[in-house]
Chain A
Amino acid sequence: MQFLVRRLGFYVVAAWAAVTVNFFIPRAMPGNAVDSMMAKFPNIQPQAEKALEAEFGVGHQGSLLHQYWVYLGNIAHLNLGTSVSLYPDKVTSVLASTVPWTLALVGTATVISFTLGTLLGVIAAWRRGGWLDRALPAFTLLQATPYFFLALLAILFFSVDWHIFPVSGGYTLGLQPGWNLSFIGSAVWHSLLPALTIIATSMAGWMLQMRNVTITTIGEDYVLAAQAKGLSSRRVIFTYAARNAILPNIAGFALAIGFVVAGALVMEIVFSYPGVGFTLLNAVNANDYPLTQGIFLVISFAVLFACMIADVVYVFADPRARTRQAY
Chain B
Amino acid sequence: MSVAAPLQADARTQQSAAPVWRRLRKSMPLKAKIGAVIFGIFILIAIIGPAVAPYDPSATTTQTQAIAPNIHHLLGTTSTGQDVLSQLLVGMRSTVVLGLMTGVIATTISVLVGVTAGFLGGSADEGLSLFTNVFLVLPALPLLIVVLGYIRTGSLLPVAIVLSALGWPWGARVIRAQTLTLRNRDYVLAARETGERTWRLIIFEILPNEVSLIAANFVSTVLYALLTSVALAFIGLASFSGWTLGTMLYWANSQEAIQLGAWWWYVPPGLSVALLGMSLVLLNFGLDEIGNPRLRDGGRRKIKGARWRASDPTPVIREAL
Q: Give A contacts to B, CB under 8 Å.
A: 10, 13-14, 17-18, 21, 25, 29-30, 125-130, 133, 137, 140-141, 143-149, 152, 155-156, 160, 212, 215-216, 218-219, 224, 227-228, 230, 233, 236-237, 241, 254-255, 258-259, 261-262, 265-266, 269, 280-281, 284-285, 292, 295-296, 299-300, 303-304, 307, 327
A264 to B149, CA, bound (A): 18
- Give 7 closest A-B pairs by Cβ, nearest first: A144-B277, A262-B141, A128-B299, A129-B300, A284-B149, A149-B270, A29-B150
Which among B137, B236, B259, B313 has the greatest number of chain A C-beta atoms within 10 A?
B137
Which of B150, B231, B258, B273 meets A152, CB within 8 Å? B258
A84 to B135, CA, bound (A): 29
The answer to whether A144 and B237 touch across the interface, beta carbons within 8 angstroms, is: no
The answer to whether A126 and B274 touch across the interface, beta carbons within 8 angstroms, is: no
Interface assignment of B46: CB less than 8 Å from any CB of chain A: no
The answer to whether A285 and B141 touch across the interface, beta carbons within 8 angstroms, is: no
Sample of 20 A–B contacts (CB below 8 Å): A10-B130, A128-B299, A128-B309, A140-B281, A140-B285, A145-B277, A146-B277, A148-B249, A149-B249, A160-B258, A218-B311, A228-B313, A233-B311, A258-B137, A258-B140, A261-B141, A265-B142, A280-B142, A280-B145, A296-B143
A144 to B231, CA, bound (A): 12
Give the dominant DSSP class at B's interface: helix
B7–chain A nearest beta-carbon distance, Å: 28
Which of B273, B298, B312 meets A149, CB within 8 Å? B273
Which among A140, A155, A307 has the greatest number of chain B C-beta atoms within 10 A?
A140
The answer to whether A145 and B285 touch across the interface, beta carbons within 8 angstroms, is: no
CB-nearest residue of chain B to A260: B139
Q: Enumerate chain B residues within 8 angstroms of A130, measured Cβ to Cβ.
A: 300
Interface assignment of B155: CB less than 8 Å from any CB of chain A: no
| Given contact pairs A137-B31, A215-B294, A255 touches B235 in the complex (Cβ within 8 A) | no
The answer to whether A146 and B142 touch across the interface, beta carbons within 8 angstroms, is: no
Which of B138, B151, B235, B280 meets A144, CB within 8 Å? B280
Which among B146, B259, B314 has the greatest number of chain A C-beta atoms within 10 A?
B146
A262 to B237, CA, bound (A): 14
A304 to B139, CA, bound (A): 9
The answer to whether A146 and B274 touch across the interface, beta carbons within 8 angstroms, is: yes
Interface assignment of B119: CB less than 8 Å from any CB of chain A: no
A255 to B294, CA, bound (A): 25
CB-nearest residue of chain B to A152: B258
A304 to B134, CA, bound (A): 10
The answer to whether B234 and A146 touch across the interface, beta carbons within 8 angstroms, is: yes
Q: Enumerate chain B residues within 8 angstroms of A296, measured Cβ to Cβ.
A: 139, 142-143, 146
Which of B31, B235, B311 meets A269, CB within 8 Å? B235
* Residues of B219-258 contacting chain A, CB below 8 A: 223, 227-228, 230-231, 234-237, 249, 253, 258
The answer to whether B139 and A262 touch across the interface, beta carbons within 8 angstroms, is: yes
Q: Enumerate chain B residues within 8 angstroms of A265, measured Cβ to Cβ.
A: 141-142, 145
A53 to B40, CA, bound (A): 55
Give me 6 other A-B pairs in contact (C-beta within 8 A), A145-B277, A284-B237 excluded.
A30-B150, A144-B280, A147-B231, A148-B235, A269-B235, A296-B139
The answer to whether A128 and B137 touch across the interface, beta carbons within 8 angstroms, is: no
Interface assignment of B43: CB less than 8 Å from any CB of chain A: no
Interface assignment of B205: CB less than 8 Å from any CB of chain A: no
* Residues of B9-49 contacting chain A, CB below 8 A: 31
Which among A228, A262, A296 has the greatest number of chain B C-beta atoms within 10 A?
A262
The answer to whether B130 and A152 touch across the interface, beta carbons within 8 angstroms, is: no
The answer to whether A307 and B145 touch across the interface, beta carbons within 8 angstroms, is: no
Q: Enumerate chain B residues within 8 angstroms of A18, measured Cβ to Cβ.
A: 138
A190 to B151, CA, bound (A): 34
CB-nearest residue of chain B to A255: B136
Chain B window 287-301, contacts with chain A (Cβ cutoff 8 Å), 1 for yes, 0 for no:
010001011001110
A114 to B280, CA, bound (A): 23
A160 to B235, CA, bound (A): 21
The answer to whether A303 and B299 touch across the interface, beta carbons within 8 angstroms, is: no
Which of B253, B278, B299 meets A215, CB within 8 Å? B299
B272–chain A nearest beta-carbon distance, Å: 10
Interface assignment of B133: CB less than 8 Å from any CB of chain A: yes
Q: Enumerate chain A residues within 8 angstroms of B231, measured Cβ to Cβ.
A: 146-148, 266
